[in-house]
Each structure stands twice: as structure tokens, then as C-alpha cells.
Structure 1
Amino acid sequence: MPPTPPARHLSGRHYGLDWLRIGAFALLILYHATLVFVPGHWVIKWPETNPALLVPLAFLTPWRLPLLFAVSGFATRRLLMRSPSLHDFVRGRSKRLLVPLGFGLLVLLVPELWVRAKLAGDPLSLPQYWLHEYWLPDPRYGLGFPAWEHLWFVLYLWVYTMLLALLIAARGSAWVQARVEALTAERRILWLPIALLAAARLSLMFVVPEQHGLFTDWSGHVQYASFLLFGFALGGSPLLWQRIAAHWRVGAPVALLCGCVVAWVEHAYPGSNVPPHAVAAAERAAQVAMAWSMLLILLHVADRWFDRDARWRATLAEAVFPAYLIHHPVIVVTAWTILPLGLSAEAGFAVVVATTIAACTGFYLLARAIPLLRPVAGLGVLPPTPPRHRIVPAE
């Protein structure tokens, strides 16, 4: 049996989870940029698409969002541990999530939604669109307000956090952790979460549509909230880390096999082609199994080999949330702007990725430097600078 993990899992910062979050966001930029250049429906499409890129996307799709919710759950537990009270925790998380969400709806998403409207034939300029059409619930062109776009993740995270706070107020963090530990006891950590999540997803997939929306995405809620709960329990449980260390290797062949199933379905039924019910059900089950298996693998890798600090770790970790807020509109607007240039798909991809990285970097540096911008970019308030005492020389 692996040795009991050290006490650092109960307090302090887990650098490995920081690196995992940083890496997940880097993949997210590449993922969303690639969506411009593959067949299928997305906000904007390049004239020349490459179906071969659907395969690597298929290997990323099942686990990228569950990973982000699990890491967010871990961070939620650590923030709760550091908060003086549950009330302070709720207030702090609401400010940290709702202020950027509001700023995103009021400002950041406007250019992206304007591009959507322009692609649908809207003649208005960006200022005209923002003043007269963006706020309409049912506009003639494009999507109605509020169109959350990629900010649905922030909305879901806040709602899950508030529901979790209610559960903690009623039963306590230890109760939540004990339930998760019971469901993942010994080798059950390999199969029981997969079985429960797959059963829930399959029972819902033919009953309710799978679409983003706080009151429509029930299949997503079951999966994402479950991964957040697991991450929350992991933030205070050396026992869960021990189980991951003992059983993570089994996840590798499971993840590979399930990834092949998902990739085959994407290849066999590209774009808007709908697979038969049995194939669709097998794909959903494979997605769940791959998501859970990859989570165990990545958590162990982060804990075993990346739980160490480095010069740029703190800066990159702080930059992730501001960069998340802005990256999606930048990708859409950049792709739309360079479409008339007639670039090859390779050159277009390079321009989109480079511009997105530059914009994310600039937005973070600007928000970090200007105190008024820090809250809207999801950055914490700077601690007050201690007064500098003037030293008076002795007479």
C-alpha cells in the first residue's frame, strides 16, 4: 500500500494542481482555436477545414471540463478552509465570480455576439449593436440577451458553489467528504463513480436535450457538479490521494480504450450526422469513463511530479482566470477579422493562437496594474501597502 500522503494535502497550496489548471487552460485555447478549422457547428468557420483534427479533439473533449470543475472544487475547499466563516466564504466567492461574470456580459461578450450577428446579416456597427440590439432578448440577428457563451462555466461554478455552501451549512464539510470517501472506497474509486455518472447521463440523454443553460443542462449538471464535489472532498482528504496513488494506473488503458470509442464515433458521424441511439449511448458512457479515468491519472501526475514551485507558477496561476474571460471573444473576433485575407488554414490558426495569447497577456497585465480593473478581471484585491516610516537621523 502506498504511504500516507504528507500533511500538505490538508493545508497550504498544492502546486501540482496549479500546474494542472495552467495546463488545462493552455489546452483550452488550442481547443477553441481548433474549432474554427474543423467541420461541424461553431461560432465561426474557416473556409478550409480539416476533418483529421476531429480525432485529437475527441480525445480532449470528454475530460477537459470535468478536470476544470474538479480543480475548481479543490480550490473551493482550500478557500473555505482559509475563510473566517461560511458567510465570508460565500461573500468572497460571489464577488470573485459574479463581478467578472457581469463585466463579461456587459463588455467582453459584445464583440463576439456582434460577429455572430454580422454573420447572420446584421448591418449595424459595433457601437450601434451594443446600444440598440445587444440587450434584446429576441433580436432579429444573432443571439438574445443574455447569451452566456463560454461564461456559462463561471455561472455554473457560482451556482454549484452556492448550493454546496447550503449543504455545508446543513451538514458540514466533513459530512460531504465522508460521503465521497465512502463512494470511492478502495477499488470502487475505479468503477463506481463511472457507473453512477454513466447511469445518470444515459437516463437523461433521451429525456432532456443536451444543451447549455442553467435550467436545461441537466445532464451537464449531474456530471460537472459531481466532479466539483470530488475535488472539494479531495481538498481535505489524504485518504483520497492515497487511493488515487494506488489505483491510477488502471485508468490509463480505460482512458485509451474509451478515447478510441469517442474518436471513432466522431469520425464515423462527423458534423451534424446523428448516430443511432445505441452508438450515442455507448459514446456517452465512454465519455464518462474517460473523464473519470483521465482525472485520476492527471491528479496523480500533478501530485507526484509537479507539486513544486517555480518562478512563473504564481503569475501563470493568477493569469488563468482573466485569460479565460477574454480568450473566447478574441478567438472569434480575430478569426472573423482575418477571414478576408485569404490565409491558409495553417497560417490562420497561427495568427488566431498568437493573437489570443497576446490579448490574454495584455488583459492580465493591464488588470493587474490597475486596481479598479482587478475585480472585473477576477483578480483579488491587493493587500494594503504598509506605511513607510521615515528614518530621522540622530542629532
Structure 2
Amino acid sequence: MVATQQQTTDSLGAQSKAVEAISFRRYDLDWLRVIAILTLLFYHTGMIYVSWGWHVQSKATSPEFELVMRWLHRWRMPLLFFISGAGTYFALRKRSYGAYAGERVRRLFVPLVFGMFVVVPPQIYFEWLFRGRFSGSYGEFYPNVFHFQPYQDGGAGGAFSWHHLWFVAYLFLYSLISIPVFRWLKNKQGQRFVDRIGQLIARPGGAMWLVGFLLLNDVVLGGFFPNETHALINDWAYFMKNLILFWLGFILISRRNFWQTIADQRRYFLAGTLVCTIILYAARPFFGLDPANDTVLVRTLFSFNSIGLTWFSVLMTIGYGYRYLNANPLWREKPILPKLNEAVYPFYILHQTVIVMVGYYVLTQMELGVYDGFLVVSFSSLAICIFLYLLVIRPYKLMRLLFGMK
């Protein structure tokens, strides 16, 4: 009888821990990460067909693509940095700071170095071919990488770059330099700061006021570093903007009651996102404003609106994601989610190189319009990335290490 009671107690305890583990995991963040990275594939394919200039570019462009991508640009990467900060909170619940730093080296720094010497160079090679700068084989091109001359936009400069892996580089740096911040947030003073954040976001739409941190950064650094370069040394306004988003992701996920607060106020964030979106698209045609060439005041106000759009759209996505992707068992219990979550990081590392290579051949060997070309490049690149992941990366330990997989 005692044994039976003990077994029953153990069973109930195990079930309780299992329920707690399930309820504490944010499945919506996994889904949103997958959705955001998949969106990047279509976004970067769209870069071939807009007028802004990219590694390979169609002569025919689409104003409609530009309209959509102006909005996506203000949402996609900020969302990923916010989710990365949230993921860091969960990671530090299970490991020490030293173990966390070591894991960041293995999962971020190793793939970054591998990517800069193996994954990125083909992008530069095909861009040079496309622009007529180089006409030899890839074997003849590759020694240019070891000149360590930095790449410049438009295919100028050298052949050494991290290209789209700037995200990995920045995230690696954020992870390490933020350890003292995370330590501070756990002590009494830090917890009082989090308490004040909690008091603010408890007000209707209160989390929207956290945009002040991003606006302050824009005021202090935006004038000195107005352009988004992804090159670190001359990108400090953008670097700090995403670092703040990373920290806010950590803070707003650190308490269970914050989760529900954000979800409950999701309609405020939707309204804020809609207002900023209207201003984004109405400034030029209806008010005759050109933020690129107008007065300092107009540029500043337009920049503030863009920052508002970024923050409100991230909050909106997290709020609706928690409401519909985390609470709903149909999404939470999908067996494919762990597989997708494992695949998205190597997919991110691969995707732009594949797009540039496929785009080069589509632009130089096929006569397709904007929309036909977009569909061919997008879905061909998606299929190639899936093929490489399943047959070349996932089965082999070395490849898993080089692509940052567990």
C-alpha cells in the first residue's frame, strides 16, 4: 500500500512537472521564429526586383514589392532580435553564464566564421560575374577572400564579408556583452527596475511607452550614424536599437504575468501599428514629404514613426502570437514544430547564398517577368535549401557543428 501511494505520488509529481514545463514553454516564439525566417527568403528574393540595389538585380522592378518590403523591413529583424532576447532568458534558466557563453561561441561564432569563408563568398562571386567585374571560375575567384579586403555595396571593394550573417555577428556580440546586464537584472536593484516596467505595462497600452528607449537611442546616436550598414564600426545607432530590442525581449518574457498583459493589450498594439503604417505610406503621396531629402525635422519625425512602427508591430506580433499560437493546443502540440525549429537556423545561414545563385541564373539565362521570376527564384531557393538541409547538413555531426545545430 505504501509503495502504491509512493508510486501515485511520484506519478502525480512527474505529471505536475510535465504540465509546468509545457505551460512555461513559449511555443508561439518558436512558431514566430520559423515564420520570420521563412519571410526572409521571400524578402530577399524581392530584393532582386526593387530599385534599391542588391547583389543581383533585375532591370524590371516592382513598386508593389517596394511598398510591402518597406513595412517588412521595419518588422522582420527587430522581431527576431526580440525573440532572441526572450530565448536567452529561457536559456539562462538552464545553464550558468559561463556555459551560456560557451554555447554562444559554438552556436554563433563558429557558424559565423564558417559562413564568412564558405557560405558568403559564392554570393560575392556571382555578384562580380553579374556586374562584369570578374569572368573566371570560382576557384580562380576564391583566393580573393584571403586578401581580407572588406566588401563594399554594389560589388566594390574586396571579397571578405559577413553579408546577411551580420545578424549572427550582432547576436553573438549582444549575447556576450549582455551578461553583466542579465546579472544586474537578477539582483534586487534590477528586480526593482523590472517591477517598474511591470507597473508601466499594466496600464492600458503601457508597453507602447517602452518605445522611449528606442527613441532616445535615435536622438543620441541617429544623427551621428543615420545609415543602417550592418558593418558594426559605423552602425552604432542600428546596433544599439537592436540591442535594446534584445534586452526588452529578455525583460518582457522574464515574468509570467507580463505574458498575459501583452496578450490582453494586443489590440492597442494593433491600433498603434496601423496608425504608424498609415503615416509611413501617406507621408509621400498625401503630404509631399520625402524623408530622404526633406528638412531635419521631417526626417526626425519620419524616423520616430518608423521606430514606433517597429516597436508596436513587434508587440502586436508577440501579443497575438501568445493568444493564438501558444494557448491553442492545435498549434502547441504540432509534432513538426521541433523539426522546423531545428531547421530554421541552418536555413537562415544558407538562404541568401542560394537566392543569389538561383537569381543569377534566372536573370542571365531566362526571360521572365517580375512576378514569374520572383516565384521561380523563391520556390527554387526554398527547395534547394530544404534539400541541402535534409541531405547534407542534418545527418552529419561536423555539418551540424558548422551550422550551429545542437
TM normalised by structure 2 equals 0.84
Aligned to 1:375: 401
Map 1:22-61 → 2, pairs under 5 A: 22-61=34-73
Shift of 1:127: 1.1
The equivalent position to 1:359 in structure 2, one of 375, 380, 384, is 384
Whole-Å separation in 2 of the counterparts to 1:106 and 1:374: 17
Aligned to 2:175: 161
SS of the aligned residue for 2:156 comes to coil
Structure 2: runs of 5+ lacking an equivalent: 1-18, 327-331
Shift of 1:320: 0.7
Aligned to 1:392: none
Aligned length: 373
Contact persistence 2:273–2:312 (CA under 8 A): yes
Deviations 1:234-267 (A, max 9, x none): 3321132133133221111210111122234577
Aligned AA (1:130): Y
Shift of 1:373: 0.7
Cα distance change, pair 260–58 in 1 and its aligned pair in 2 (3 A): farther
Contact persistence 2:112–2:162 (CA under 8 A): no
Aligned to 2:338: 314
Deviations 1:263-284 (A, max 9, x none): 3457799999644433322221
Contact persistence 2:292–2:299 (CA under 8 A): no
Map 1:217-366 → 2, pairs under 5 A: 217-265=235-283, 274-307=293-326, 308-340=332-364, 341-365=366-390, 366=392
Aligned to 2:14: none
The equivalent position to 1:108 in structure 2, one of 91, 110, 119, is 119
Shift of 1:133: 5.0
Whole-Å separation in 2 of the counterparts to 1:30 and 1:138: 27
Aligned to 2:74: 62
Contact persistence 2:82–2:245 (CA under 8 A): yes
Shift of 1:207: 2.0
Contact persistence 1:249–1:297 (CA under 8 A): yes
Shift of 1:342: 1.6
Q: Which structure: greater helix fraction? A: 2
Deviations 1:22-64 (A, max 9, x none): 1111211111111111122222211210112211112212121
Q: Which stretch of structure 1 is more off in the superposition, 189-198 or 247-256? A: 189-198
Cα distance change, pair 133–293 in 1 and its aligned pair in 2 (3 A): closer
Aligned AA (1:364): Y
Contact persistence 1:176–1:233 (CA under 8 A): no
SS of the aligned residue for 1:39 comes to coil
Shift of 1:318: 0.8
Cα distance change, pair 86–139 in 1 and its aligned pair in 2 (3 A): closer
Aligned to 2:7: none
Whole-Å separation in 2 of the counterparts to 1:10 and 1:235: 16
SS of the aligned residue for 1:123 comes to coil
Deviations 1:90-139 (A, max 9, x none): 10111111111111001000110112322151233211111245534168
The equivalent position to 2:103 in structure 1, one of 92, 97, 120, is 92
Whole-Å separation in 2 of the counterparts to 1:242 and 1:122: 56
Whole-Å separation in 1 of the counterparts to 2:290 and 2:125: 25
Cα distance change, pair 146–264 in 1 and its aligned pair in 2 (3 A): farther
Q: Which stretch of structure 1 is more off in the superposition, 110-119 or 70-79? A: 110-119
Whole-Å separation in 1 of the counterparts to 2:188 and 2:363: 54
Contact persistence 2:185–2:191 (CA under 8 A): no
Contact persistence 1:17–1:71 (CA under 8 A): yes
Cα distance change, pair 65–133 in 1 and its aligned pair in 2 (3 A): closer
Q: Which stretch of structure 1 is more off in the superposition, 125-134 or 183-192? A: 183-192
Contact persistence 1:38–1:51 (CA under 8 A): yes
Whole-Å separation in 2 of the counterparts to 1:273 and 1:170: 40
* 4+ aligned runs moved over 6 Å, structure 1: 266-272
Aligned AA (1:17): L
Deviations 1:187-220 (A, max 9, x none): 3733422123123213422222422222221111
Contact persistence 1:137–1:145 (CA under 8 A): yes
Aligned to 1:390: none
Aligned to 2:193: 179
Compute the RMSD of aligned alpha carbons: 2.7
Aligned to 2:12: none
Whole-Å separation in 2 of the counterparts to 1:305 and 1:215: 40
